[in-house]
Amino acid sequence: MGHQYQAIQWNKNKLVYSGYVLIAVVAFLAVFIATGLSPHPSGNTADPVVLTIRALGVAAFAMLTMILAIGPLARLSPRFRPMLYNRRHLGVMTFIVSSAHFALALLWYHGGGPLNPFVSLFVSNPLYDSIPGFPFEVLGFAAFLILFALAATSHDFWLNNLSAPAWKALHMLVYPAYALLVLHVVLGAMMTERAIIYPVITGVTFALVSGLHLYTGLLEWRADGGMRSAKSKGWIDVCAPGDIADMRAVIAPLPKGDRVAVFRYGDKISAVTNACRHQNGPLGEGRVVDGRITCPWHGWQYRPDDGVSPPPFTEKIATYNVRVEKGRVFVDPKPNAPGTKVEPAVFNLQEMSS
Amino acid sequence: MKKPHRRAHFLMWLIIAPIVAITFAIALTSRPGVPFNETTPETLADVNAAGGD
């Protein structure tokens, strides 16, 4: 959180997690290369350097695919939410693997000629108007530049200095980067390797990732469409107190497309903005842990009555006035200044359970 | 995410998905077939000329 900047927020769990990922990547590379080097019936042997380039590329592609699947899966099922905690570390590791792939490929295919390797990358194959012969390396290089920018700005120093909206906008470039990588594979390995497994794996992988993002995006779009009906300037009827599970929230639409998270903890109800200060994570999908609203994405916490992070942290989010009347929870759509204390609405717990 | 980012996310995938899908389809139909060995006819001609089988 905002108490101090750390390039990488290591803790024991993340060390263990990153250790497992590292072991998995090394094991994958070893199996890929060993399999490729095994004797072929034709008597031909694969080049170990080319195999290593391929192995690194496949590993980076698979890792980025997993990263992009985590977000929509976490929106569809809470079971995937713990994976969000480690997504940033996986992203940085993906960049490291893709850097190795890029450096090795650049040296191997473009490092031996008279031209600068970076110039050679762009001019050695001039078939820019051809699909089968397109210089697919250029697409991979463009994706690599985006991944570099994302990895370089991945820590909270940049998040705080750029502001959450600008940082989020920048990091949404990962989607075009993924598209470039898919095209890099489609116009590269898929065109040179005749085995049907290449188009099958590439096609299915992209269909899954894009399908997940389009489906969850459509759900959000529909939800936002429902919010257009929330034009009333008066208090908004959210739900009955019993509709909110204990220590959980109901997310309600507000005018102008904002959302409010209405939390119940025991017989009290408080309302805060649904957007976490960290990365605009959906607070209403989190829960109250140790008396604090906890963001499901990275665990940032806020007190429900004033939206202030517990000391030593200093983040504040907007609160909303809330009341319970005639068995219904009402929220004033006008947000209070971040950190404004609002007395929780209290209701009769026994009436709710009877 | 806030509404502008939700919209941008959805629109981005609405653009990305068809572009990649169409390129994928074109590339799939443009894939080279079984490799053609240009030396085979000449080799066969040489073998035939030499009276081999």
- ipTM for the complex shown: 0.77
Mean per-residue pLDDT of chain A: 88
Q: Chain A: nearest CA to B14, how far in angstroms?
A: 7
Instruction: Please tell me the predicted confidence (pLDDT) of residue A148.
Output: 96
CA angle A33, A202, A87 (to 5 degrees): 80
Q: For helices A12-37 and A87-110, what crossing angle results, to 10°?
A: 30
In A, minimum Cα distance to B13 occurs at A214
Position A180, amino acid:
L
Segment A170-187 mean pLDDT: 95
Q: Chain A: nearest CA to B43, how far in angstroms?
A: 20
Whole-angstrom CA distances from A294 to A2, A67, A277, A340 are: 15, 22, 12, 18
Instruction: Please tell me the predicted confidence (pLDDT) of residue A7.
Output: 47
**Of A292 and A154, more confident:** A292
Strand partners, A303: none
In A, minimum Cα distance to B14 occurs at A214
The answer to whether A187 contacts B35, with C-beta atoms less than 8 Å apart, is: no
What does the pLDDT look like over A60-116, one tens digit per residue? 999 999 999 998 998 898 788 778 877 888 999 999 999 999 999 999 999 988 999
**Of B1 and A310, more confident:** A310
Instruction: Please tell me the predicted confidence (pLDDT) of residue A132.
Output: 85
Token pair recorded at residue A243: 């509709």
The answer to whether B23 contacts A203, with C-beta atoms less than 8 Å apart, is: no
Q: How many CB atoms lie within 10 A of CB A154?
A: 19
pLDDT at residue A339 above 60? yes
Instruction: Please tell me the predicted confidence (pLDDT) of residue A141.
Output: 97
Q: Which residue has the tokens 């598209």?
A: A179
**A165 cis-preceded (ω within 30 degrees of 0):** no
The answer to whether B16 contacts A210, with C-beta atoms less than 8 Å apart, is: yes
Q: Which residues of B sit within 8 Å Cβ distance of A?
A: 1-10, 12-14, 16-17, 19-21, 23-24, 26-28, 30-35
Phi then psi for residue A264, to 5 deg, are -115, 130
The answer to whether B12 contacts A214, with C-beta atoms less than 8 Å apart, is: no
The answer to whether B16 contacts A168, with C-beta atoms less than 8 Å apart, is: no
pTM of the complete model:
0.78
Q: Chain A: nearest CA to B40, how far in angstroms?
A: 18
DSSP string across B4-50: HHHHHHHHHHHHHHHHHHHHHHHHHHT---SPP-THHHHHHHHHHHT
Q: Which residue has the tokens 């409010």?
A: A260
Segment A182-203 mean pLDDT: 90
Contact A247, A265 (CB under 8 A): yes
Interface A:B, Cβ pairs < 8 A: 98
Contacts of A99 (CB under 8 A, 6+ apart): A144, A148
Q: Which residues of chain B have pLDDT under 70?
A: 1, 33-53
Contact A260, A331 (CB under 8 A): yes
* A288 sits in which H/E element: strand A287-289
**Beta strands A319-320; A268-273: pairing state:** antiparallel
Half-sphere exposure of A90 (CA within 13 A, CB side): 21
